[in-house]
């Protein structure tokens, strides 16, 4: 076993002595050492149920003949970190999580890992570590949150807090109702109730083959989630004995399957950052253009929040990921999974229990998938939009630029009603380097929606969006402003063309004027020049590469 390097032989006498001090018995040294990398914290609602899941995973590991250990990794709730300095740390957290898991896996020469995760950047960080270490690993996502309820109406975080506060500011809602929504929109443990980044990545993990079937959608409060945690512990030991490693599972075919499921569900645009970054750790290149290619040939078959009517609990009740894979099976590629079954076997066994929550291919909600990749003179390397969340009248739009150098300034302008129909809000210097950390723009996009402007105002940024974003919001613009990308030279009053059907994003000024502006361009100084974000800023690459560190 791999762990023999730190527990067997005369030279390891001191190490064994230290292991005995942790409670190990002599017979444990002949068993596989399996660690649970847990992102438990009571700061994050998506993670507060993990103590129970840790216990179930431990039971499963012991039952299968392994020795369980637990170590912690950091976690950030993007909803709490949103709109202030804390969001600078959200995307960089992904790299911290991967580094933490790598550090513990190598320091103790662990035989296997159970990666217990939930929210936005933690799940891709865990998967990056699994691909990097390439030791037998399984992912357990802690589950979605149940919907809230107010006067018989089901509630979700984004629509009933982020969008509601803008509706209140616009005079469309009373303070009493806003306070009621604040208290009732998040009723307990779990990742926010729609296809935001956390739940999107949970479903993608399942489609990649790294989680057991139904893990991605079973509610955090359900007894089934505990059963899946227990079985995942048992499975981790089986994976070690079979020597089945993440790179045996996360193959190019598996990544294409994961992207296809994502496009069919209409998930978060953040997957365009995370899937390439995970693949990068497995020495697989996933170009941004692949998302657009698969999206063009994959119908959108669900209607889940934020832009749809269904909650994650409805998707789960309709059959979850296996049911969606069943619908997509003619377009999937066979690949191994941690369950011991192939992805095609899981897809074949999946059953659709509600054919409106999960529609057939010949009756989709949209003919194309969730994400479109736009290029043009404003985004030579690409940009990303959730096209299934855009109204038909905004699929082609020409608007007037209102330029902001940071999110807070744009948010202030929106809340002060300085943004009008026909505007294109431009938020720059929020990319991986310029942020640093590529902050999510959920606050301004939700404010635009709450103000009733989502069908008449667009937003473009070199930052990124939460999975909760809807409307014509284009992110991941590459190159970013800090790298001298064309977004850096937009001026107030410039006209900007957004053409989703033709995949174009253009600044409507002459080539000569663009060339002149770029010649005289000087980037703004870094917003943060101390701490680890200063180091991150120097190492991070552009959004179209997944924002990896090099």
**Residues with a known catalytic role:** 466
Taking each helix axis as running N to C, give the angle between helix 320-328 and helix 252-265, from 0 to 180 degrees, rounded to the nearest 10.
Answer: 100
Phi/psi of residue 205, each to 5°?
Answer: -60, -40
92 and 536 Cβ atoms separated by less than 8 Å: yes
CB 155 within 8 A of CB 147: yes
Nearest to 304 by CA among 254, 258, 354: 354
Residue 475 parent element (H or E): strand 473-478
The answer to whether the CB of 185 falls within 8 A of the CB of 156 is yes
Which is nearest to 386 in space by CA: 449, 452, 480? Answer: 449
Q: What torsion, rounded to 10 degrees, do the Cα atoms 93, 98, 102, 104 define?
A: 50
Sole residue written with tokens 């307990």: 188
DSSP reduced 3-state for 163: helix
Q: Return all residues near 484 (Cβ < 8 A) that are at least 6 apart.
A: 518, 521, 523
C-beta of residue 458 within 8 angstroms of C-beta of residue 480: no
Q: What DSSP assignment string belongs to 419-443?
A: --TTEEEEE-S-STTTTTS--B-HH
From the list 506, 270, 239, the residue with the least C-alpha distance to 375 is 506
Nearest 5°: CA angle at 346, between 341 and 351?
155
Q: Specify which residues 70 forms β-bridges with.
A: 36
CA dist 529 → 47, 94, 496, 537 (Å): 31, 20, 32, 9
d(CA 60, CA 65) in angstroms, rounded, equals 9
Give the Å distances, CA to CA, from 307 to 150, 164, 173, 388: 20, 15, 20, 8
Residue 515: what are its φ and ψ, rounded to 5°?
-60, -40
Handedness of CA 124, 129, 131, 132 (dihedral sign): positive
Q: Tell me whether residue 9 is exposed, middle or buried, using C-beta atoms within 10 angstroms of its C-beta: 0 to 12, 13 to 18, 19 or more.
A: exposed
> What's the CA gap between 445 and 459, in Å, rounded?
7
Residue 107's CB: how many other CB atoms inside 10 A?
10
Query: 456 preceded by cis ω (within 30°)?
Result: no
Round to whole Å and give the CA distance between 190 and 539. Answer: 33
Rg, Å, the chain Cα set: 23
């Amino acid at each position: 076993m791999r762990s023999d390097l730190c527990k067997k032989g005369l030279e390891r006498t001191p190490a064994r002595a230290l292991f005995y001090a942790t409670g190990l018995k002599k017979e444990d040294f002949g068993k596989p050492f399996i660690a649970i990398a847990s992102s438990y914290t009571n700061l994050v609602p998506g993670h507060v149920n993990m103590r129970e899941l840790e216990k179930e995973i431990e039971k499963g590991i012991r039952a299968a003949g392994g020795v369980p250990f637990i170590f912690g990794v950091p976690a950030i709730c993007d909803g709490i970190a949103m709109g202030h300095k804390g969001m600078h740390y959200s995307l960089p957290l992904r790299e911290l999580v991967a580094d933490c898991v790598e550090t513990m896996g190598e320091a103790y020469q662990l035989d296997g890992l159970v990666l217990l995760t939930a929210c936005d950047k933690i799940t891709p960080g865990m998967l990056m570590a699994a691909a990097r270490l390439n030791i037998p690993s399984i992912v357990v996502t802690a589950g979605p949150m149940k919907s809230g309820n107010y006067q018989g109406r089901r509630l979700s975080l984004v629509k009933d807090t982020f969008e509601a506060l803008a509706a209140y500011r616009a005079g469309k809602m009373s303070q009493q109702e806003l306070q009621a929504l604040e208290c009732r929109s998040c009723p307990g443990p779990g990742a926010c109730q729609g296809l935001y980044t956390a739940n999107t990545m949970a479903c993608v993990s399942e489609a990649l083959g790294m989680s057991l079937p139904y893990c991605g959608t079973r509610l955090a409060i359900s007894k089934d989630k505990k059963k899946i945690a227990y079985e995942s512990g048992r499975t981790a030991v089986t994976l070690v004995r079979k020597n089945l490693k993440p790179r045996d599972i996360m193959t190019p075919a598996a990544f294409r399957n994961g992207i296809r499921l994502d496009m069919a569900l209409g998930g978060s645009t953040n997957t365009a950052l995370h899937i390439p970054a995970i693949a990068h750790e497995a020495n697989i290149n996933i170009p941004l253009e692949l998302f657009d290619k698969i999206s063009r040939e994959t119908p959108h078959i669900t209607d889940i929040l934020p832009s749809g009517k269904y909650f994650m609990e409805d998707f789960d009740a309709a059959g979850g990921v296996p049911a969606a894979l069943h619908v997509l099976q003619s377009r999937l590629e066979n690949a191994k999974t941690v369950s011991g079954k192939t992805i095609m076997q899981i897809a074949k066994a999946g059953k659709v229990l509600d054919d409106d929550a999960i529609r057939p291919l010949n009756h989709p909600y949209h003919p194309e998938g969730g994400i479109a990749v736009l290029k043009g003179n404003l985004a030579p390397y690409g940009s990303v939009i959730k096209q299934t969340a855009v109204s038909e009248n905004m699929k082609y739009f020409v608007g007037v630029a209102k330029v902001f150098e940071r999110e807070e300034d744009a948010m202030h302008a929106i809340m002060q009603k300085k943004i009008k129909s026909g505007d294109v809000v431009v938020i720059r210097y929020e990319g991986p380097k310029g942020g640093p950390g590529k902050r999510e723009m959920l606050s301004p996009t939700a404010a635009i929606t709450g103000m009733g402007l989502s069908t008449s105002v667009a937003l473009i940024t070199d930052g990124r969006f939460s999975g909760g974003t809807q409307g014509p919001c284009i992110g991941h613009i590459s190159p970013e402003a800090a790298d001298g990308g064309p977004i850096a030279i937009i001026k107030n009053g410039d006209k900007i063309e957004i053409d989703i059907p033709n995949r174009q994003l253009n600044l409507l000024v002459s080539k000569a004027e663009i060339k002149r502006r770029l010649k005289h361009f000087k980037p703004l100084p870094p917003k943060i020049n101390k701490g680890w974000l200063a180091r991150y800023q120097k190492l991070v690459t552009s959004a179209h590469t997944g924002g990896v560190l090099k």
